A and B are shown apart, each in its own frame.
Chain A
Amino acid sequence: MTADPRAEPRTGRLTAWLRDNGVYAAVAVLVGYNLLFSANFATWGNLGTQVVQVAPVLIVALGMALVIGTEGVDLSVGSVMAVAAAILPLYLGYGFVPAVGLALVAGALCGALNGTLVAVVGIQPIVATLALLVGGRGLALVFADGQLTDIRNDDLLALGSGELLGIPTIGWIAAVLAVAVWLVVRYTTFGRQLVAVGGNRSASALAGLPVRRVLLTTYVISGVLAAVAGILATARLTASDPSAIGTLYELSAITAVVVGGTPLSGGRVRILGTVAGAVLMQLITATLIKHNLPDSTAQIVQAAIILVAVHLQRGSR
């Protein structure tokens, strides 16, 4: 009854350093290794490919980092990508802007549904968003009539294959969004309230914070970012494929967030770490493929890294 719950375990300094900087160090090591031993690594062509591949995961992971910061999780992101992808061809006849706009609105609505279930109805995030993980893809397939549709809109195709200053447009978009989300977390009232709600919900409520509004907004942001990723993935693929697009993205996004040092217990959001986490996972796959190791090996290595990341987090609590 009165046992001291705050008998904090003393973590070693190495553990603490690894927790805070391990993901950056790992990225640096992998980059260094590839520069030395992988042919064609440091070419514009290869770097562009890596950026394009990591960008959609990264964008989804940004929203995921916010949701995890509130002590929640959003399992529906992959299906929301599919919903956005399915909506695009339906409205591209009216032009690029209305189609993309509606896809984003669809993402926001999906997020609002998740947010309402979590913040207002009070369902556990993992269950609330599981519903849309299952239902969202079904919905997307209904929209698309179960079909894969080729994209012929030039603006959308340009979004998928365009470059600016030698870097893919998709990469620029991901970078801008990452900076924007970082600024929101750090410098806005909403961002600070998000971290507070995740850190101690009851204390936040007693301090008069609009807890429900903060949670709802967070899930809407996650939904919109997932829709952005769905649009970009579609543009890149030059086809809307609601049965395949975004599958297992929720797991890749959670991995990037966790490996990047954001604790699943909430109260802390590390955007730069999330970026590094996404990049690290991409680099692992790329490196092993370059050395002719199968994808399954990459998965095993990634699993090991997740365990290490979670272990480091645990020691810090």
Chain B
Amino acid sequence: MEPVLAATAVSKRFPGVVALSEVDLTLHGGEVHALVGENGAGKSTLIKVLTGVYTPDTGELTYLGETTGFGRPADAQNAGISTVYQEVNLVGQQSVASNLFLGREPRTRWGLLDFRAMNRRAADLLAGYGIRVDVTRPLRTLGMGVQQMVALARAADTRARVVILDEPTSSLEPREVDTLFTVVERLRADGVAVLYVSHRLDELYRICDQVTVLRDGRVVHSGPLAGLPRLGLVAMMLGRDLEEVRRDGATKFEGEHTAERAEPVLTATGLTVKHRLDGVDLAVRPGEIVGLGGLLGAGRSETAMAIAGALPLDSGEVTVEGTRLRTGSVAAAMRAGVVLLPEDRKADGILPDLSVRENIVLAALPRLSAAGLVSRRRQDSIVDTFVRRLRIKAASPDQRVGELSGGNQQKVLLARLLCLEPRLLLLDEPTRGIDVGAKAEVQALVDELARDGLGVVLISSEFDEVVEGSDTIVVLRDGAVTARLTGEDVTEAALLAALAEEGPA
């Protein structure tokens, strides 16, 4: 059968990065095709190439048997390629009906908008999917799930030949997921080609026929999903070779540091945030490195942020050395000695225009001040200590942080946290985007800190970093803990198995 949409040897590069390299993707009508891959694998770029947002550097797109190059997103849409994004991209202020018929509104005999017909047809259309809402209400007054369904119903009703769903279920309730799947089933029955992007393995195995795995901008696998073991799929996504899951010490972590049977420095119980965390329990002892395992979107960053007070909790409590912490306050967590190295260094970490000195003392400023006046002398002594201890390479403490390398920026952020004399360090991707040398230094530093009795929570998308760094690994999926690996079980094989394990249906 002829494919509806095919990308052949598509490459796309950005300054310094190859986002896609010789990627092939073939979508057939009546098939649901899963597109999977971890952060930075190139999924978003590929979607943008398919929908005309980006023009590929090389390679070609074939749509309905003809070579095409969609110059603009509107061309792709008009040709019959609909995309439903994670964040609904409809007009929130307008009614549900208006959104469903945006750009193709029914008209009266006089050429005016026929609202009665529009509302009636909208209600019928949604009722067909089991959704009964007042279609005259503004879209934004409805729940995320319903909004997602409206977006999908719109895509399905515009005689689309290809529907791209980008993480459609991330904000849906289980019941809403079922509804969404009936719509997807209908699309498949109607001969539409569906590209389904998600990290939820259970969903993929429920609904998808084919799968394409991207890693580092390349296709590492493409074929039927049925018969492909979950473990194999996860291993491909993460780039681990199942045949030889070796332990040869690629990282700078060394062995264990746990102070046996010590009382936990941190106990978190029942951390719950709607749609993001579902009753996460976590305990960290002094000197212990607890790794958080999980695929993208499993709730690792959210867990760290909730403990650090940066994500307000719906319920759950955090106890530090026996004292219950006021949750939802970064300042309170810091006073208790809990600090977070955020995942996104540029957006949430550095102040690029300020100096190395100011970036380091930022959080400690009140402690280094008397009567609201900053003490330059006390600042200098702290800054001096940490620049030397962490070997931060800067021309002087007055140099702008924006001018430093990624690794040195990361060290500046670590210094900002360490000068607060923390008891628990939450590290979210501490070595992402920094060079090999700095990476080894950061790993060695974390090791050393743990040996000195600091409790550490480590999140890393690099598999060996988690496995070799951690004494204990807590595995998350869909915001809940699904496994705990300790002692001898902290191995790549065990972690892979835990990640691939089937969830509750």
Residue ranges of A at the interface with B (Cβ–Cβ < 8 Å): 1-7, 187-190, 192-193, 195-196, 199-200, 202-210, 267-268
Bound Cα distance from A195 to B351, whole angstroms: 10
Instruction: Tell whether A199 pairs with B351 under 8 Å between CB atoms, given A188-B374, A208-B331, A209-B362.
Output: yes
A10, chain B: closest CB distance, angstroms: 13
Please state if A187 and B353 are interface contacts (CB–CB under 8 Å): no
Interface residue total, chain B, C-beta cutoff 8 A: 37
Closest 4 CB pairs of A and B: A3-B14, A207-B363, A199-B351, A208-B331
**What is the minimal beta-carbon distance from B190 to any residue of chain A, in angstroms?**
31
Can you list 11 A-B contacts with CB-CB less than 8 angstroms, sorted by A residue number? A1-B19, A5-B346, A189-B372, A196-B354, A199-B353, A202-B348, A205-B310, A206-B310, A207-B416, A208-B330, A209-B362
| Contact between B15 and A206, CB atoms less than 8 A apart | no
User: Quick check: B358 and A192 within 8 Å, CB to CB?
Assistant: yes
Cα of A244 to Cα of B363 in the assembled complex, Å: 45
Taking CB atoms, residues of chain A closer than 8 Å to B454 are none
Distance of A193 Cα from B373 Cα, bound (Å) = 12
CB distance from B429 to the nearest CB of A (A): 14
A196 near B358 with CB under 8 A, answer yes
Q: In the complex, which of the residues A7, A195, A203, A206 has the most CB atoms of chain B within 10 Å of its own CB atom?
A: A206
In-complex Cβ contact of B351 among A1, A6, A200 (8 A): A200
CA distance in complex: A161, B366 (Å): 43
Instruction: Report the bound CA distance from A206 to B362 in whole Å.
Output: 11
**Residue of chain B at shortest CB distance from A207:** B363
Residues of B within 8 A of A (CB): 14-17, 19, 40, 42, 44-45, 308, 310, 330-331, 333-334, 340, 342, 346-354, 358, 362-363, 365-366, 369, 372-374, 402, 416
In contact, A203 and B350 (Cβ under 8 angstroms): yes
Bound CA–CA A3/B376 (angstroms):
38
Contact B362 A196 (CB under 8 A): yes
B330 to chain A, nearest CB (A): 4
Question: For the complex, what is the distance from the CA of A2 to the CA of B20, rounded to whole Å?
Answer: 11
Partner of A206, one of B45, B346, B348, B365: B348
Knowing A205-B310, A206-B340, say if A2 contacts B365 (CB, 8 Å).
no
Distance to closest chain A CB from B183 (angstroms): 27
Q: Are B362 and A204 in contact (CB under 8 A)?
A: yes
Closest B residue by C-beta to A188 = B372
CB-CB nearest in chain A for B365: A189
Among A5, A188, A195, A209, the residue within 8 A (CB) of B363 is A209
Query: Contact between A7 and B15 (Cβ–Cβ < 8 Å)?
Result: yes
B78 to chain A, nearest CB (A): 25
